[in-house]
Amino acid sequence: MLRPDAGGLYCAAGDFWIDPLKPVPRAVITHAHADHARSGAGEYFTAREGLPVLAHRVGDGGDFNAVDYGQPFELGETRVTLFPAGHILGSATVRVESEHGTWGVSGDFKRAPDPTCALFQPFDCDVWMTECTFGLPVYRWPATEQVVGEVLDWWQDCIDAGRPAVLFCYALGKAQRLLAELADRAPRPIWLHGAMQPLTECYREQGILMADTQTVSEAGKGYKFSGDLVLAPPSAAGSPWMRRFPRHSSGFVSGWMRIRGNRRRRGYDRGFVMSDHADWPDLIRTVTDMQAERVITIHGSGEALAGYLREQGIAAESWNLRATLSRSEPA
């Protein structure tokens, strides 16, 4: 019913694409991250809560359709329903029903609670297409509460030492999740890199409660940021912008920080293991919860998970959606 195309998936029965990376007439978008949402589609379908962020990311040019979670809508010969994915605000998994059966497609998802978005909701399907960003058993997340505690302890150490604490994290989703986790625990306002400010406003406008923030560009000249927490996207690391924070301690919040070499190679002082993706146990738990007879891994290196599931007696395979990008590219 679905096949890889345009960097995403194409459904012929409904004549629509899920998360295409190239311009298509009609796109169902799971969430606004750049590896799932691109500008140029004729028509967009996305979860209502995700619309403001998506519009901010892909521009106002498209024709947007806001869809409520759990409310089926017709596309061609299919019935499509979006369910909360628990990944970022407005993120969704897609259920496609037709006479060929029921398919579930994840964009990205996680199972841990997140104050900025609705909890992942499983549904029954025949085929479950699962993301597999962290598809190895070494990826196992500690409880969010513990990691937030580690971040606060580190911030306190920086306050004691009078140093800026620069915390790198993705600008959409992770930054706001952190701000929400810190809402009533931050000892002082948190500084934001300019790239994070508009997205954070999007979240605030939808009523997400977050810690007070200021934008770094608003700070007075010569302000030292001693003991202040600054959130910045990973791309800012090593850039001239960092000169604003002499003697800073740096941290990175990401599932990749589970592995020591990843942190040391990038030269971060601290790694905080918090991810908006499912870890290995949750990838497997979700396969069980979706009751699917067949599993297809997408987004990430899914061979290991597919191989493991096969050994457990589940029909599983791995698809590389990216391959369709170079294949259809004109030479």
49 binds Zn ion, rule: CB under 5 A: no
Q: Which residues contact 98 (CB under 8 A, 6 or more apart)?
A: 1, 13, 14, 77, 78, 79
Assigned token pair, 10: 């194409």
Residues in contact with another protein by CB under 8 A are 136-138, 140, 249, 258-262, 264-265, 267, 269-270, 304, 307-308, 311
33 contact choice in Zn ion, another protein, none (CB below 5 to 8 Å, kind-dependent): Zn ion
Look at residue 121 and give the partner it binds from another protein, Zn ion, none, a contact being a CB closer than 5 to 8 Å depending on partner kind.
Answer: none
- Judged by beta carbon distances under 5 to 8 A according to partner kind, the member of Zn ion, another protein, none in contact with residue 265 is another protein
Residue 282 binds which of Zn ion, another protein, none (CB < 5-8 A, kind-dependent) = none
Minimum distance, C-beta of residue 155 to another protein, in the bound complex (Å): 14
The H or E element that residue 17 is part of is: strand 16-18
Residue 63 exposed, middle or buried by CB count within 10 Å (0-12, 13-18, 19+): exposed
Q: Which CB sits closer to another protein, 194 or 307?
A: 307
Query: Helix axis angle, 280-290 relative to 303-311, nearest 10°?
Result: 60
Q: Does 108 bind Zn ion (CB under 5 A)?
A: yes
Select the residue interacting with Zn ion from 33, 57, 95, 111 (CB under 5 A): 33
- Find the Cα–Cα–Cα–Cα dihedral 276, 53, 168, 254, rounded to 10°: 10
| Nearest-angstrom CA–CA distance, 25 and 231 | 37
Least distance (Å) from another protein to the CB of residue 137?
6
Determine which helix (DSSP H) or strand (DSSP E) holds 311, and give its type and residue range: helix 303-311
Residue 35 binds which entry of another protein, Zn ion, none, with Cβ cut-offs from 5 to 8 Å by kind?
Zn ion
| Residues of this chain that bind Zn ion (CB under 5 A) | 33, 35, 108
